[in-house]
Structure 1
Amino acid sequence: MSKTVDYYLAPQSPWTYLGHQRFVQIAKTAGATVRVLPMDLGKVFPISGGLPLGKRAPQRQAYRLVELTRFSQALNLPLNLHPKFFPVAGDPAAKLIIAVDMHHGADAALAITGAVLSAVWHEERDIADPATLAVLLSEHQLDAVCLMLSNAPEVQARYDSYTQSAMDAQVFGAPTYVIDGEMFWGQDRLDFVAEKLKG
């Protein structure tokens, strides 16, 4: 029986970007079902001890840049350490991912998630701008109606539900992968995710 992975993500997270394509491939190889669950880190952080980047201690901010560089080089994934559009509001892109999931299904939601993450961390595009999101839909042959759908109350309700679900599952950062109630935080835990899915 195939396993299900709850994939809690934030569309503006560099760590989600660094792990996304590897995770998609791991899940595909394992024949796993993925539930794509964008969450609002602005609500998750305050109850879990997390801080927005700008409020973290200088030494933590500095080390983050070291680690991002290391992983970018090790994974051969291009990453701008200081993207033009960051910090950026994640809500519009998160709700677009949910709308695509509702309209096209999980595979398309994973595809648009990858596009959004790359837009921030590689392509210097503004994912808070509806015009950018419309172009990303077009580039991936996804229905333009998804942008309008992303503003619907039912999408907001799902976003709120996913955020609450993350908090209930004790999630405190992105990306987080939950399999059979076991949590794996961070793209550097993907080897363990792969092992869990094999098991």
Structure 2
Amino acid sequence: MPKIDYYFSTISPYTYLAGDQLEQIAEKHGAEIVYKPLDIVALFGRTGGTPPAQRHENRQAYRAKDLARVSKLNGLDLNLKPAFFPTNAAPSSYAVIAAQAAGTGDVGALVRALLTSVWVKEQNIAEDDVIRACLIEAGFDPALADSGLLSGAETYAANLEEAVACGAFGAPFYVVGDEPFWGQDRLAHLDAHLSGDI
């Protein structure tokens, strides 16, 4: 069974705009997805990137236009200036890590619910009640928001180190073996790789 290591941030707009494409590709190829939420700002710092708010105004302007275009093309609503961005992604990431370990619900649906909370519902995913609601929506026990914080923090930090080691520098970032794919716009390439076409 192919394995897709999926490095992402629960506050990344491009991760949100991927929708459920990754899960569809994984189902098509019988692949396993290992969800690896990480601190995207720390990843930028480690790999020569810059957080969006600190980028040159030309880059910020292009990013806004690109996000608007991708949201229309992918049929996903998107608020370009949500009320709670950026926010602390660690608590929601810990919940994803705990949910994946529990294995009782749909981790992909949880990730999408958290991202939708940021980019559509304008909710703060650093808050426990928002995280619990997302856990319930994805079929998990909301108590996972309170459990495994220490192991979640350890895994969150380890995910960052793994991401840097495998060549990741942004989100979403997908790795199959030694083949990296950066960005929701490279999911077709991931699909083709799993098909043996590239």
Q: Where on the TM-score scale, by shorter chain, does this alignment land: which range?
A: over 0.9
Determine the structure 1 residue equivalent to 2:95.
Answer: 96
Alignment partner of 1:128 out of 121, 126, 129: 126
Determine the structure 2 residue equivalent to 1:34.
Answer: 33
1:1-199 mapped onto 2 (5 Å cutoff) = 2-104=1-103, 108-151=106-149, 153-199=150-196
Counterpart AA for 1:176? F
String of CA shifts for 1:28-61, please: whole Å, max 9, x gaps.
Answer: 1111111101011122111211111111000100
Counterpart AA for 1:86? F
Shift of residue 139, structure 1, vs aligned partner: 2.4
Q: Figure out how many residues of one structure are paired with residues of the other and give that number.
A: 196
Rounded Cα–Cα distance in structure 2 between residues aligned with 1:55 and 1:38: 22
Rounded Cα–Cα distance in structure 2 between residues aligned with 1:33 and 1:134: 25
Rounded Cα–Cα distance in structure 1 between residues aligned with 2:143 and 2:59: 41
1:98/1:109 contact within 8 Å kept: no
2:110/2:137 contact within 8 Å kept: no
1:65/1:81 contact within 8 Å kept: yes
| Partner secondary structure for residue 81 of structure 1 | coil
Rounded Cα–Cα distance in structure 2 between residues aligned with 1:15 and 1:180: 23
Counterpart AA for 1:133? I
1:92/1:150 contact within 8 Å kept: no
Shift of residue 160, structure 1, vs aligned partner: 1.1
Rounded Cα–Cα distance in structure 1 between residues aligned with 2:99 and 2:175: 22
Counterpart AA for 2:89? G
Counterpart AA for 1:196? H
For normalisation by structure 1, the TM-score amounts to 0.94
Rounded Cα–Cα distance in structure 1 between residues aligned with 2:114 and 2:175: 22
* Overall identity of the aligned pairs, in %: 35
1:18/1:72 contact within 8 Å kept: yes
Which of structure 1's runs of 4+ aligned residues deviate more than 4 A? none
Counterpart AA for 2:124? D
String of CA shifts for 1:111-140, please: whole Å, max 9, x gaps.
Answer: 211110111111111101111111112223
Unaligned regions of 5+ residues in structure 2, if any? none
Unaligned regions of 5+ residues in structure 1, if any? none
String of CA shifts for 1:141-188, please: whole Å, max 9, x gaps.
Answer: 31122111142x112111111111001111100000001211100000
What do you get for the CA RMSD once the two structures are aligned? 1.2
Rounded Cα–Cα distance in structure 2 between residues aligned with 1:41 and 1:142: 25
2:113/2:137 contact within 8 Å kept: no
